[in-house]
Amino acid sequence: MAMFTVGHHPWVFASGILGNLMSFLVYLAPIPTFTRIIKKRSTEGFQSVPYVIALFSAMLWMYYGLVKTSASFLLTVNGFGCLIEIIYISIYLIFAPRRARILTLRLLVLINLGGFCLILMVTNFMVKRPHRAKAVGWVCLIFAVSVFAAPLSIMRLVIQTKSVEFMPLPLSVCLTLSAVGWFFYGILQMDLYIAMPNTLGFIFGLIQMILYAMYRNSTPVTKEPKLPEQVIDIVKVNTNSNTEVHPVSTLQPNCVENEGGNGQNARKETEHAEESMGGSNQV
């Protein structure tokens, strides 16, 4: 237990424990999704991007914990994050169709191998040791701030539909408590690279819970059926840093059966946004 008495400050220890516990719960949130994938032996159109980016985020913060002294809590939570995301990605690769499997492998090589190795080389060979932690901290800070598009997209969907179906309260609470724990951990450690992104996490978490209280008993907004017409749907998937835009040609629903199918697709896309919001924003 001595390795976790960071700075011998009890509040640092308490905030680090809170951040770790809540982050563990957030990392475990996609388990029902992958249980379903294993049972159906199909990825059902789910995308691997959120998990690839979540793995990259955990790798970055783990690297920051290694170059920074007194960062045991960062190493534990992000070590667990790396392990669980590797498991998720491995399951995805087993059951994904060939095209999705190839895309996932390309992303892993480009982002997790190429991108991370580039950061390692630049910070080790171009940055002097006394400034290395600051350089890696800035990379982590910029990456963490850039992934907050996922909560924004979820909140916009809740406001538009007046429904909290796609914003589970337990996950929002865990994300908020995680942000609170890591914010105080960063402040007490005088580490702004940890504290600053979690300020946004705390604010967005509070807004999500306020929206939940506002719309939990509201009647969802439904659209009137329209005549069939060819349209282009833009599906944005935030990944925790990058946003992919996938043009998909779809036929607008003109019957109840099609509306049900589109609702299921929307639910899958939104579950991905929620999971990416969780995994990628972990410190």
The two structure tokens encoding residue 82: 């790396």
Q: Are 282 and 27 in contact (CB under 8 A)?
A: yes
**Is residue 130 helix, strand or coil?**
helix
Reference 47, options 247, 271, 282, 264; nearest CA is 271
The two structure tokens encoding residue 222: 């439904």
pLDDT at 251: 42
d(CA 277, CA 269): 12
Q: Which tens digit of pLDDT belongs to each residue from 146-199?
A: 876 667 777 888 888 888 877 777 878 888 888 899 999 999 888 999 999 898
Q: Which tens digit of pLDDT belongs to each residue from 34-93?
A: 999 999 999 888 889 889 999 999 999 999 999 987 788 999 999 999 999 999 999 999
Highest mean pLDDT among 82-86, 129-133, 193-197, 275-279: 82-86
The two structure tokens encoding residue 29: 């949130």
Summarize the confidence of residues 83-104 as an average pLDDT.
Answer: 95
Angle at which helix 192-215 crosses helix 149-161, to 10 degrees, equals 10
pLDDT at 272: 54
Angle at which helix 31-40 crosses helix 72-95, to 10 degrees, equals 20
